[in-house]
Structures are given as structure tokens and as C-alpha cells.
Amino acid sequence: MLDLKSKIKHSINFLFYLISCMVKKKKNRIVFGAWFGDRYGDNPRYLMEWLVEQYPQEFELIWIGKPAVIEQIGIINKIKFFKKNSLPALYYSITAKYAFFSHSHTDISNLNIFGNCITVQLWHGIPLKRIGDDAISYESHNDFFSKIKKNKMDNYSFYISSSQENAKKLLSAFQSFSITKDKILSIGQPRNDFLVTQKDDSSNYKKKLYHLFPSIKDKNIITYMPTFRDSTGKNFSFRLLKGKDLDKLLTILQKHNAVIIEKNHYAVSGADQANLTNSPFIVSLTNVPFDSQELLLATDLLVTDYSSCYFDFLLLDRPIIHYAYDYQSYGSIDRGFYYDLENVRGGSLVISDEELVESIDINLTTPDLYRGDRLNTISFLLDDEKGSSNQEIYKLILKKN
């Protein structure tokens, strides 16, 4: 049951939504946003930059986010930037014909002002973890405002998926948002177009990383990118290793001329800084504005847990290690999983610090050891990742409408 404060908030949001339904839309105006306005990245970024390159005169392209985002964007011709929830941002959003999100309308505006707008849920990766209606912690509300919000206000025009199997999960996860099969376009993700087309130029992104950290120049890159955890629990860092595990890790890194780059999930702060070991072989990229897809291109070996970044990385056909130290608890207490990780893994599956360190040596020595697993998972979950998502979005949504 909603309290009075929530009812007032929902009433205001509903009023603005109704107003937005009556506002005339400018046919070539597109607004983009990602990660609640905090980041310039993910699928909306790659679609927008592709449109800038391919159709610079056809659309009015607008990115809306929090002030810090302007520093991430830099200077890109043909792109306008407005501060989230400012009057200009509200004006351009309410008059846009198209809106592209990575999460929800809150990527662009706290108010849902996208009535009669063509809204596209690009999402932010293939879910291994349960999402939306399927999450263990999900609670359905049947009050008036909740029904209106899901069935009308958050009723997206289109969703994109990476495969038919991925589409099935979207149908389940967004079932209370009036999703239907005809709204799902199995055309791959814009951010993965970037990986597919830039794969042969990966050295350029290594150079960008070397420029940021001159001390790692010409080293092989091991990247650690963990997922977000809803519940409190252990957040692993290589800099938490002590004793024989740390000594063995450093020996292996020296053997393979490698360093570890750690990039924590956007929503977590990572391990307790007081307990971290300082080492020239382990570098943190968490608070450095370096795009995740560019980091994947620079990566020789990916270490993760259940993050969807490993699905993207599969397209590069490079070794992956899953450090599943809390697999059982995450699956039963946090969100839960759609699949048994054993069946959709991208490489080694380890559960202890000792196994992790040993697996790094094995995968750097024999990078094709788990190639069969990579190909199987691509066939199952990334079958529609052909490197043409942006073109298909243009053809099926922007040009057609």
C-alpha cells in the first residue's frame, strides 16, 4: 500500500505523463540517457555515436545526464547535452519523437514525460541474473498508480535482444509491462557492434590504457570486472590477496608479463580500501572514466563472476575465468539466475582464491582451452550479434517511423 508521500509523487508523475501525451513531437528529435543519468556509455552511447557518423544531418541528437557526464562526453559535433531535470532537458525530452534508455525513463528524467514518444529499451546486457518480474526479490503492486505505470507509462515501444533465447527472457521479465513478441527486435546490441567492428584494432585501445598508466606499457592485460550485488556480502579484489596466494599471483604475472586491471561495477564501491595491498601489478580503473567496451577490447584475459560483460567479451574469442565464490548464496538470496553458470560459462569456473590464481596461469598459457564453451554460449545466447544492430535500429525504428 502506497503512503501519502508516494501517492503525491505518483500523482505528479502521472499528470506530467498525461501532459506529455498532448505535446507535439519534433519528428527528427532523439533523446538518449544511460545509468540514471550518471554515465555516458552503454548501448545508448554507441547508437548515438553511430548516428552522428552515419546520419549527421538527419537527426537532432540530444544526450541528457548529470553534470559530471559532460566531462565524459568531451566535444562531439552534432550532439547537444543538457543537465538532467533542467528546464531545457525537460523541454527537449517532452518534444522528442524518440527516446532510448539503458534502464528506464529515469536515465533521462525523473518524470515520465514520454507519452506518445517512441521509447526503446536498449537495456544493458544479456541477463544471466534474473531481472524485472523474474527477480527473487521482485514484489508486485496492484494499486492504481502501479498498474498505470507498468501498463501505460512504462510500456516501451521496442526492446532489443541478442538471440531468440534472450527474447524469451525479456518476455518473462517484462510481462507486467505489457511486452509482446512483436515489440522485441532480435538484432543484437549497439555496444557489441563496436566490439565486432573494432576487434582487429584492439591494439589501439591497449595504447589508450598504456597512456593512462605508463607503468603497464607493453604488458598483457587481465581485467577483473565483477557484477553488482543487491545484498551485502563479500566484494572480492585481487588486492585483498595475502600470503602464498599473493606471492603465487605475482610470480604468474611476472611469468606472463601481465598486469591486472580492476574495474568495479558502477553501483558498488568495491573492497574495503584499508585492507587492500598496493602492488604495481594490480591497478584500479574504478574511478577512471574509461569505457567498458574499450577496456574489453584492450583485455587479453577477463576475470568476472556473473557480470553480463562476459557475454560481450565472448565475441572477441579470448579466455574468461568466472570467480564464482558466492555462487550458491547469490543464486538463492540475491536475484537468482536464469541459467546454471556451468551451462553458459565462457571459460574456467573457480570458487577459491587458490583456484583463481592457478587458473590465470592455465588460461594465459593455453588461451584456447575453453574455446568450445565460448562457441556454445555464443550459439545459445548471442546468435543475433552480427555487428549490425545500429543499422537495424535505424531501418526498423527510425526510418520506418
153 with 203, same domain: the answer is no
- Look at residue 346 and tell me if it is in a domain: yes
- Look at residue 303 and tell me if it is in a domain: yes
Would you put residue 218 in left (φ > 0), alpha (ψ -120 to 50) or beta? left
pLDDT digit string, tens, across residues 266-283: 544 444 444 556 678 899
Number of folded domains that form the chain: 2
214 with 161, same domain: the answer is no
Range of the domain at 68: 4-188+386-399
> For residue 133, what are the CA distances in angstroms to 81, 136, 170, 367?
33, 8, 10, 38
Per residue of the chain (401 residues), what is the pLDDT tens digit? 557 777 788 788 888 899 999 999 999 999 999 999 999 999 999 999 999 999 989 999 999 999 988 877 766 778 899 999 999 999 999 999 999 999 999 999 999 999 999 999 999 999 998 888 888 665 665 655 555 655 556 789 999 999 999 999 999 999 888 899 999 999 999 999 999 999 999 999 999 999 999 999 999 999 999 987 655 556 788 988 989 999 999 999 999 999 999 997 554 444 444 455 667 889 988 777 788 999 999 999 999 998 889 999 999 999 999 999 888 877 676 668 899 999 999 999 999 999 999 999 999 999 999 999 999 999 999 999 999 999 999 999 999 87
> What is the rounded distance in angstroms from the CA atom of residue 232 to the CA atom of residue 329?
11
Q: 174 is written with which cell numbers?
A: 517484462
pLDDT digit string, tens, across residues 365-391: 999 999 999 999 999 999 999 999 999
178 with 292, same domain: the answer is no
Give 240-244 contacts, CB < 8 A, sequence gap 24+.
Answer: 240/271, 240/275, 240/276, 240/277, 241/277, 241/353, 241/357, 242/277
| pTM given for the model | 0.90
Q: What pLDDT does residue 76 have?
A: 73
> Look-up: residue for cell 596461469?
361
16 with 153, same domain: the answer is yes
